[in-house]
Amino acid sequence: MNWKWSEPLRKGMVDMPFLEIHQTDLPESVVTKMPTVEDMEKAFPGKNHSLKTWGRTPGTKILDPHWIGLSGQGPLHFDPGYPRYTHHLLLIIDPKFVLRGYSKEEVELSSGLYFCMDGHSPHQLWAKERGAKWYLAVSIDSHEVLPKDETLGKLIQYASSAPFFAPDLEIPNA
């Protein structure tokens, strides 16, 4: 749900939702499976903002690794329909993007960045310059903050083995 910068936070929301941030080196098993620009363009055709998640086990919303990708920046929003915490390992990121919360404090992004975020608090993928294009990560959602090392291992395993073009990825004109 979109959130207005002028709207005060609700009880339980925090102004900086990025709880844990850790830079890691992506293993070769992930690097060699990274989607190409052509793959990203196929998954996210057009020039408009697009957010997609795919590759989940059907009927599952928690503790299930999956892909999450964006084309273009997104609005300030929060995600009350999902578990509170989301854990991401960034694979492809345009250097013009930053993440920020209601506080507008910016989190610089790079490939290999792992973070845990409170998705029930306002957050935004923001383009510092025009033309920012791609955000691709693997993610696990949960009702609690998960241990970093164990979660990072699961995300790396998923990125190393899961097909990018999973059956539930909607690709127009495929």
**In terms of residues, how long is the chain?**
174
Q: What is the sign of the dihedral through the CA atoms of 166, 72, 157 and 35?
A: positive
Count CB neighbours of 17 within 10 A: 25
| Domain architecture of the chain: domains with CATH | 18-55+65-161 (2.60.120.10)
Nearest residue to 88 (alpha-carbon basis) of 106, 58, 112, 104: 112
Q: Does the structure show a pLDDT above 80 at 172? A: no
Percent of all residues in the chain with a pLDDT value above 90, rounded to a whole number: 89
Triad 54, 126, 173: Cα angle to 5°: 35
Within the chain, residue ranges assigned H as helices are 28-31, 37-43, 148-161
pLDDT 10s digits, 20-48? 999 999 999 999 999 999 999 999 998 78
Is the pLDDT confidence value at 156 over 70? yes
- Considering the entire predicted model, what is its pTM? 0.95
pLDDT at 173: 60
Kindly report, residue by residue over 75-119, the tens digit of the pLDDT: 999 999 999 999 999 999 999 999 999 999 999 999 999 999 999
